[in-house]
Amino acid sequence: MKNLLLALGALLLFSCQSSDKKESAAGGNQDAAFDAYKEHFVDALWKTYPEWASSVGYHNYDSMMTVNDEAYRKSELAFLDAQMDSLKKYDVAQLSSNNKTDYQLIENQLKSGIFSDEELHAEQWNPSIYNISQSSAEILAGNYDKLDNRVKNIYLKLRRAKDFYAAAKNNIKNPTLEHTALAIQQIEGSTSTFEVDLIDSIKKTSFSDAEKQAMIARANEAAAAMKDFAAWLKALKNDSPRSFRLGETLYKKKFEYDLQANSTSDQMFEKASKRKAEVQAEMLKISKELWPKYFDKKPMPATDLEIVKMMIDKLSEKHVARDSFQIAIERQIPTLIDFIKQKDLIYIDPSKPLVVRKEPAYMQGVAGASISAPGPYDKNGNTYYNVGTLANYTKDAAESYLREYNYYILQILNIHEAIPGHYTQLVYSNQSPSLIKSLFGNNAMIEGWAVYTERMMLENGYGGGTPEFWLMYYKWHLRSVCNTILDISVHTKEMKKEDAIKFLVNEAFQQQAEAENKWRRVSVTQVQLCCYFTGYSEIYDFREELKSKMGDKFNLKNFHEKFLSYGSAPVKDIKALMLEEMK
């Protein structure tokens, strides 16, 4: 999301010369000067990226819409270059450890923005970045301000809807077929934000009838502009579409900026391949061990992969009933908290409860679970655990879904999404003193933490340490591992669809439908699928390194709390800071 928005940007040309003078004048006290600089930087950032500002809870620019035309891109580059120049005035070595990582995060963000503008050029080949509904839908769903004010801001924002799509048409050149199809699908699925939701909300405001009429007219114009763009995309003559594969050169750079890992994509590919073999060997061992318990004297199938697959299928039969999916999740939250307390794994702040709720309508009826956390500007807001409903599923589809999220996997999902995974990490992150770290949250660290906690909980005996639980854990874990192999293979090694599906089904024990979905995802994203395993392995390796260094002095709870206290910074930066403090 953040990177998409970076590729979009804002309206105002920004110059920070006045703040630059102050900084160089500050001379000796680098940290105080850098703190002041960060404030100026964030102000300028929000002027450049107003939609991003709205999405993290900064609402001064809710009425702005970024129109990605040439003038905007010039102003965006000017912003990025000016900030790069400002950064150069500070001597990193003299900054506090907190400011050091903030410096690195800002620098990476700026470099990544320049890379997007000058090399990646998603605005040319990815039509799906042109969707005006999301930001308005978020503002409409927010409760930070009166409905009248929120509706008014959307009304003002939408005055640029036509310009927005005129710029889009002008930018697009030989788009990929995959991103074109995605754009059309997403636009068709989201015009209701204006045609239905916004108009319903306008009717509930206290504006005069004439004002309401003008607002309704603009809502309809916005929906019409979206539909016109979708029709334009459908009719677009595109004889030589660009490949959705990013290619090695761009991929390696994007990997570096997006993940900020210690390893290159080549190294991660090696690492994931090795881990895949280890995990598969473990799974085979467990499956053979469990065989007599579940299949008695039935002979084992001929191949190793089939033995594992049959055992997984058998264990997947243990699942909750369709109508108790949400209640089962709700009941597990206190169980997880009790376990963590009992094993002394990490402090969980009881004043920030997690609210389990049915997925709100604007998130669409996709089953599954996700976390909605309060942003850095709204630290006291509720954290929601959104649970999708199976109401619209056919009987077969519901059964297949419940088998997938069976008794074991559902618990691992709760560990990952909620406690002590994403929810716990986000609570710590919002308490971290750095706005920069809350804003430029590193995805590899965030996903890596959630993936790490799955293993950590099992290592500490969660689920009774049974072979069944471990086997299902490995299946789940293999997904992160294979995501990495898949992403790198598809974008840099020309892996074909057919081979990708075979790989996921045969080597990662995925269902055909799941593998097909993963193919769709890898063909419209790049690097994102690598963040899970990359972050996980850096956290896990760091923990093991500390353990062997500290011996008896190593304390798991301290490690977890210390690790999370730096906010969502890249693992390599957290590691450097922790090691420095230990000296």
Q: Using CB under 5 A as the criterion, which residues of the chain lie in contact with Zn ion when the complex forms?
A: 447, 450
320 and 340 in contact (C-beta within 8 Å)?
no
Q: Which is nearer to Zn ion, 66 or 406 (by Cβ)?
A: 406
CB of 319 to Zn ion, least distance (A): 6
Nearest to 488 by CA among 257, 302, 269, 267: 269
Q: Which is nearer to Zn ion, 105 or 450 (by Cβ)?
A: 450
CB of 316 to Zn ion, least distance (A): 8
CB of 366 to Zn ion, least distance (A): 15
Residue showing the smallest CB distance to Zn ion in the complex: 450
340 and 456 in contact (C-beta within 8 Å)?
no
Nearest to 435 by CA among 19, 98, 23: 98
How far, in Å, CA of 333 to CA of 328, rounded?
Answer: 9
DSSP category for residue 391: T
Q: Which is nearer to Zn ion, 447 or 487 (by Cβ)?
A: 447
Q: Which is nearer to Zn ion, 11 or 333 (by Cβ)?
A: 333
34 and 90 in contact (C-beta within 8 Å)?
yes
Half-sphere exposure at residue 218, Cβ-oriented, CA atoms within 13 angstroms: 19
How far, in Å, CA of 557 to CA of 91, rounded?
Answer: 34
How far, in Å, CA of 286 to CA of 469, rounded?
Answer: 10
Q: Is 556 exposed, middle or buried (0-12, 13-18, 19+ CB in 10 A)?
A: middle
Q: Which is nearer to Zn ion, 445 or 488 (by Cβ)?
A: 445
DSSP category for residue 365: S
Q: Which is nearer to Zn ion, 269 or 533 (by Cβ)?
A: 533
CB of 58 to Zn ion, least distance (A): 24
Q: At what angle do helices 467-492 and 248-259 cross, to 10 degrees?
A: 130
Q: Which contiguous run of DSSP H or E holds residue 387?
A: strand 383-387
Q: Which is nearer to Zn ion, 215 or 398 (by Cβ)?
A: 398
How far, in Å, CA of 257 to CA of 352, rounded?
Answer: 32
Q: Which contiguous run of DSSP H or E holds residue 307?
A: helix 304-316
Q: Which is nearer to Zn ion, 140 or 398 (by Cβ)?
A: 398
Helix (H, G, I), strand (E, B) or coil at 384: strand
Task: Find the radius of gyration of the CA atoms of the chain.
Answer: 25
Q: Which is nearer to Zn ion, 304 or 404 (by Cβ)?
A: 404
CB of 380 to Zn ion, least distance (A): 24
CB of 402 to Zn ion, least distance (A): 6
How far, in Å, CA of 515 to CA of 533, rounded?
Answer: 18
CB of 321 to Zn ion, least distance (A): 9
C-alpha dist (Å) from residue 299 to 285, 286, 317: 16, 16, 20
* Structure-token match 């590919």, residue found: 269
Residues 6+ apart with CB under 8 A from 131: 183, 186, 187, 190, 226
Q: Which is nearer to Zn ion, 266 or 313 (by Cβ)?
A: 313
Q: Which is nearer to Zn ion, 10 or 315 (by Cβ)?
A: 315
How far, in Å, CA of 80 to CA of 107, rounded?
Answer: 10
CB of 374 to Zn ion, least distance (A): 18
* Structure-token match 């015009």, residue found: 191
Tell me the CA end-to-end span of the chain in Å, nearest whole number: 38
Q: Which is nearer to Zn ion, 9 or 421 (by Cβ)?
A: 421
Q: Which is nearer to Zn ion, 99 or 316 (by Cβ)?
A: 316
CB of 311 to Zn ion, least distance (A): 16
CB of 317 to Zn ion, least distance (A): 6
CB of 292 to Zn ion, least distance (A): 23
CB of 563 to Zn ion, least distance (A): 17
Residues 6+ apart with CB under 8 A from 487: 522, 526, 527, 528, 529, 530
Own/partner long-range contacts of 557-564 (Cβ < 8 Å, ≥24 apart) = 557/344, 557/345, 557/346, 557/347, 560/345, 560/346, 560/420, 561/346, 561/347, 561/428, 563/539, 564/346, 564/424, 564/425, 564/428, 564/429, 564/449
CB of 359 to Zn ion, least distance (A): 16
DSSP strand pairing (369-372 vs 383-387): antiparallel
Q: Which is nearer to Zn ion, 447 or 454 (by Cβ)?
A: 447
CB of 284 to Zn ion, least distance (A): 25
Q: Would you call the peptide bond into 127 cis, given omega within 30 degrees of 0 as the criterion?
A: no
CB of 129 to Zn ion, least distance (A): 23
Q: Which is nearer to Zn ion, 123 or 447 (by Cβ)?
A: 447
Give me the amino acid identity at 428.
Answer: Y
